[in-house]
Amino acid sequence: MQIPSYDLRIDGLTSTDVQWNIRHWRSQEALWSRKALKARKQETRWQYEAKQAEAATAVARHAHYAHQLEIRNTLAHLQRCRAARTAGYPVRYITDPAWLVEQAINRRAGWPEDPSAQRGSCLPVHGTYPRKASGTRYTHLRTLSGAINTPRRIVHTGDLGEWRKWLMKRLPKRFTNA
């Protein structure tokens, strides 16, 4: 089952409309700020500052709308996922409401996102993932291959780590023992 995107509205505005309005009002705010700085007469400056304040108020109002729409869209998505799950449709991680809520709670608690390709490998310990669970096994090889393939760069055998035997068989003259 394909979970559709949601087009909920506040005051007739979709989330795309709200984002566009925020950009528009921020540009208006910057415009009136520049004009207020350049104004020669005090009355003109006051008019420009009033328009700048009006634009700032509109930005704050639309930012609040955006936050409300984000919450409503998330809740609608979770309700649809839960309905699909109870109807017997196959559930993946991205459509499993229990997993989505758990990830949201973890994110709110300050735990970092799981950097590995495997989902749910483990929870972080003291704010970081354990090395075995962090999916860094091949990033070391990628860094090492960058060093090996860089011309005129000295690569020591001590830098090879767990790939030492394999690399020494393939490229024995590329490394120094010092």
**Judgement on whether residues 84 and 143 belong to the same structural domain of the protein:** no
Q: Is the pLDDT of residue 152 over 50?
A: yes
Coil/strand/helix, residue 53? helix
The string of pLDDT tens digits covering residues 54-63 is: 888 888 888 8
Asked if residue 29 belongs to a domain, the reply is yes
What is the number of domains present in the chain? Answer: 2
What contacts 127, CB < 8 A, 6 or more positions away?
Answer: 110, 111, 112
Closest by alpha carbon to 57, among 103, 25, 104?
A: 25
Last residue of a domain, one of 114, 129, 158: 114
Q: Is the pLDDT of residue 159 over 70?
A: yes
Q: Is the pLDDT of residue 1 over 50?
A: no
**Judgement on whether residues 92 and 30 belong to the same structural domain of the protein:** yes
Write phi, then psi, for 163 (nearest 5 degrees).
-95, 10
Average pLDDT value for residue range 116-134: 57
Lowest mean pLDDT among 24-33, 125-134, 148-157, 167-176: 125-134
Average pLDDT value for residue range 123-152: 70
**Judgement on whether residues 24 and 89 belong to the same structural domain of the protein:** yes
Asked if residue 3 belongs to a domain, the reply is no
**Judgement on whether residues 28 and 107 belong to the same structural domain of the protein:** yes
Asked if residue 141 belongs to a domain, the reply is yes
Asked if residue 33 belongs to a domain, the reply is yes
**Judgement on whether residues 144 and 96 belong to the same structural domain of the protein:** no
The string of pLDDT tens digits covering residues 14-34 is: 777 777 888 888 888 888 888
Asked if residue 8 belongs to a domain, the reply is no
**Judgement on whether residues 101 and 20 belong to the same structural domain of the protein:** yes
Q: Would you state the pLDDT for residue 137?
A: 54
Q: Is the pLDDT of residue 115 over 60?
A: no
Average pLDDT, the chain: 77
Question: 81 lies in which domain range?
Answer: 15-114
Tell me the whole-structure pTM to 2 decimals.
0.45
Coil/strand/helix, residue 109? coil
